[in-house]
Structure 1
């Protein structure tokens, strides 16, 4: 067995009012893929920022040894000079520069201040080939998808002679196909002798690529497990992460039985939306769905199926060019052409992109929560700061938002706690219909269960919930009914009893299967 390439001993990191890391120890062997697991806020990313020099030596206690040498990194450049490269969850690429320019940004092929573009493009092409990307190196980063951008980040790391590659939630924003390609690449890099540390909440991915997994809980390293050992099951890892056994991944739920004769809380009829740029292309094509009070209705579909486009276009026409259709609340037609109109009719939308559209990251928890319903905490246009603080404090406790005070900037919270703030914001608005778009994306199993419990409680209170998710087990565990979409069209509807992963996937890929059948028929002719 190979010896350790990295040792982090008794790491302690403190922020004002919070001890983020407390006596954390981590050992990574040469040439392995080492996973780090823990709940949101457990200290995983903080530990990697210590390792990569984001938190410089002197700002923490403990020792970092790399290749047997004690390291005192003053910044990221110092760690990169040793071959340690970190790829953050939020990609550090400049969208309007080319792939080649991004790969060598800050590390240019230059002499006397002049860039050698021939060398730049040649080396960029070699690196792109190495990561399995066939894009031209002069292509703008803005013109490629997120999956390919992740590969560009890895190519950028390889250009720096990486020895230890750190990937923080690398597949959080990727679909299954792109995630598979990225995980395959990590295994290829392992064969080339590159050691990797991967932070992920997706336990199936960890079991696929990792050799070892270290569990961190509440800022402490709990244990390191051999992933290939028979006793290292997903339940075993989860138990270490949350400090208790999760007997059920989802709250127990009694399927909703709608009252006969009552109109749906939300009904969407013949909804069609055109792409905002390519106006000949329909991104939502004649879709009709309904949701009753107390019901959780799921929408399943692959990337590009039109799920988010449907939700955003209904919620104030925030996506695309609307071409036609009707929205009804409790049997009465309503206008939702603007966000205030949608909110006024009791509709809330929790976006899949909380950092860009769901939160003001530089503002505090209490300001974010009150934002959707300032009228409830103000009088004659003046905000009652005491009342606003009390509302936020109530949600901090009831939603178990882990923060020292409600005056903490939201940008400093972990992903799961940010998601709880988004939910709190919309619950405070008092909606009757909640559209939840990937509400548990990028958060750990413990925080997921807490959010599932909140959603279940809202349904029990008589709210109508639309639940969009890419995780089929999540939809099967939470929903009373599930619609499937493909290529902008509705392809199926399933009751809780009828739904299975196989049945849903069959309908989610129906359009692709139809296209393949048509092509096969044309070939046979």
Structure 2
């Protein structure tokens, strides 16, 4: 194909075409991150002749202390001219051209705005404008709509369409099938580090086709259709004590900034003593906000719900009360948000602080409110926050060893195997087994169904903040059934 850009992968390749948005989609443990990193490494160090390739990640790639225009034309500033001579930076021309590029991408941010003060949509728009200013022929983006609200997500789709219109090849990596279909002219599905499916826009748009919802289900089936899940396992018989140790009913949690949106909607479940309950879901399914909100209302705005521990209703509205009720939470990465306050100052705040700040009228609701880097939530020595690294893994595994003899009765684990190696993950599973054998309950979230099947007695599936079904881990799993449960309503 003329002008095609071949991006080698560990297995196979991606072929990006000029004037096209190609989206590679896969679930969290599909190897998509490795594919994305392989492409980025190739962009950074691979052969490209005179062409310019650009990579835009989820971490901020702007230079703090410089304004928007300076970031757009960094190293390519417009110069004053006098005949054939050029000298000094023409700041007026630099700002005017930056404003023109940003306007074409749908951003109204001022070229004079400090880079560290702009929101997430404008940040990506500035990086796209920089790529266009350098006449890039390829732009790769990692989850460009992941941290955007619905309105900004639509604006981002329009921005990518503008980049495509200028003849640039655009490659996007995403874990969200719906977003992939909204952005892409072509969608490829990645599983276990290889491309296992490919679809063009004509398959889900136009007369005589099944539409977006049918294609999304097809993509989901390709994402999760692992042969390991089709083979019935023979787990050892597990003794589960009679009686519910934890019961949750009518649990509803709102978005801390957008009152019209719910992170968790009318969720109810129970866990018996000596039982391990897994919660499966793709990103944004609501599984993590569910656990964090149960524990001290550490994420979102509590709206309704009831919790019982040992048959007695308890108050878990603060971390101290949750601990007193017998709950304990381990979160690998409690959310921290970057918000813009009234007056234009942007800074990170914890998830538990957002509702209070919003009620005080300090948060600019028209700007981005997106999860950023760092640890948040109400830690207070109670929410154990784990990031990747040996010390944190040792801390987690040590906590699991101590938990059976502690006074706590229910352990909530939010994606506990994130960042663990194979040996550490095996020790994690043994620790969960010991807690269950001690007659206590474990509830843990993961997007790795193989892990959930190996450890859990039952699995709840969540999508769009709702429980969509329950899986019995003693029976084989049909990928079509799983795709239906994972698909948001």
Superposition TM-score tier, normalisation by shorter sequence:
0.5 to 0.7
Q: Please tell me whether residue 182 in structure 1 is matched to residue 156 in structure 2.
A: yes
What does the per-residue CA deviation read over 1:453-472, in whole Å, with 9 as the maximum and x for residues that have no partner?
589x3657xxxx9x986466
Equivalent residue for 1:370, pick from 388, 394, 397: 397
Residue in 2 aligned with 1:48?
Answer: 39
Cα distance between partner residues in 2 of 1:356 and 1:170: 19
Shift of 1:334: 5.7
1:458 & 1:198 partners in 2: Cα distance? Answer: 37
Contact 1:268–1:328 (Cα < 8 Å) also in 2:
no
Q: Tell me the distance in 1 between the aligned counterparts of 2:224 and 2:307.
A: 42
Aligned to 2:19: 31
The aligned length equals: 385
Aligned pairs (5 A) from 1:443-482: 447=448, 449-450=449-450, 457=456, 470=464, 475-477=467-469
SS of the equivalent of 1:162 reads: coil
Q: How does 1:85-484 map to 2 (within 5 A)?
A: 85-93=54-62, 98-105=67-74, 107-108=76-77, 116-222=90-196, 224-229=198-203, 233-234=215-216, 236-238=218-220, 240-241=222-223, 244=226, 265=247, 292-293=270-271, 315-316=295-296, 329-330=309-310, 331=312, 333=314, 337-338=318-319, 342=323, 345-348=326-329, 350=331, 353=335, 356-357=374-375, 358-363=385-390, 366-367=393-394, 369-370=396-397, 372-373=399-400, 375=402, 405-406=422-423, 432=441, 434=443, 447=448, 449-450=449-450, 457=456, 470=464, 475-477=467-469
Q: Deviations over 1:369-427 (max 9, x none)?
A: 4264463699xxxxxxxxxxxxxxxx99xx7x8976447xxxxxxxxx9xx99999999
| 1:435-455 deviation digits (Å, cap 9, x = unpaired) | 86xx65xxxxxx4x4477589
Q: 2: CA distance between counterparts of 1:428 and 1:152?
A: 51
Distance in 1 (CA, whole Å) between partners of 2:226 and 2:253 is: 45
Instruction: Flag the 1:129–1:308 CA change in 2: closer, same or farther, 3 A.
Output: farther
Encode CA deviations 1:291-315: one digit per residue, 9 max, x unaligned.
64469999xxxx9xx9999975763
Find the aligned partners of 1:83 and 1:182 in 2 and give their Cα distance. Answer: 22
| Distance change in 2, residues 1:107/1:435 (3 Å) | farther
Taking the aligned partners of 2:334 and 2:72, their CA distance within structure 1 comes to: 28
CA distance in 1, matches of 2:186, 2:389: 36
Offset, 1:86: 1.0
Answer yes or no: is the 8 Å Cα contact 2:386–2:392 preserved in 1.
Answer: no
Q: In structure 2, how many angstroms separate the alpha carbons of the residues matched to 1:126 and 1:296?
A: 53
State the 1:132 CA deviation: 0.6
Distance 1:426 1:470, change over 3 A: farther
Residues 370 and 425 in structure 1, CA contact (< 8 A), matched pair in contact too: yes
> Could you report, residue by residue, the CA deviation over 1:253-292 in whole angstroms, capped at 9, with x for unpaired residues?
xxxxxxxx989645899999999xxxxx9x99xx999764
Post-superposition shift, 1:128? Answer: 1.9
The whole-number CA distance in structure 1 between the counterparts of 2:197 and 2:468 is 32
1:340 deviation in Å? 10
Aligned to 1:5: 4
Cα distance in 1 between the residues matched to 2:430 and 2:326: 19
Secondary structure at the aligned position of 1:204 is classed as helix
Q: Give CA deviations for 1:335-391 in whole Å, capped at 9, x if unaligned.
A: 77547963982232645649633532243784264264463699xxxxxxxxxxxxx
Question: SS of the counterpart of 2:13?
Answer: strand
Q: Secondary structure at the match of 1:361?
A: coil
Structure 1, gaps ≥5 residues long? 12-20, 58-63, 72-80, 249-260, 276-280, 379-394, 408-416, 441-446, 480-499, 506-525
Contact conserved, 2:246 with 2:271, CA < 8 A, in 1? Answer: yes
Q: Are 2:397 and 2:427, in contact at CA under 8 Å, matched by a contact in 1?
A: no
Deviation at 1:84, TM superposition (A): 1.0
Question: Per the alignment, in what secondary structure is the counterpart of residue 36 of structure 1?
Answer: strand
Rounded to whole Å, the distance in 1 between the matches of 2:215 and 2:254 is 45
Across the aligned residues of Structure 1 and Structure 2, the Cα RMSD in angstroms comes to 6.0
Structure 1 residues 118, 206: CA separation in 2 closer, same or farther (over 3 Å shift)? same
Conserved in 2, the CA contact under 8 Å of 1:368 and 1:425?
no
Q: Is the 8 A contact 2:67 2:112 kept in 1?
A: yes
- Looking at structure 1, the residues matched to 200 and 223 of structure 2 have their Cα atoms a distance apart, in angstroms, of 15
Greater length-normalized contact order (CA 8 Å, ≥ 6 residues apart): 2
Post-superposition CA distance 1:199-235 (Å, at most 9, x none): 2222233333433344444344556554424699445
C-alpha deviation, 1:49, in angstroms: 1.8
1:88 CA displacement: 1.4
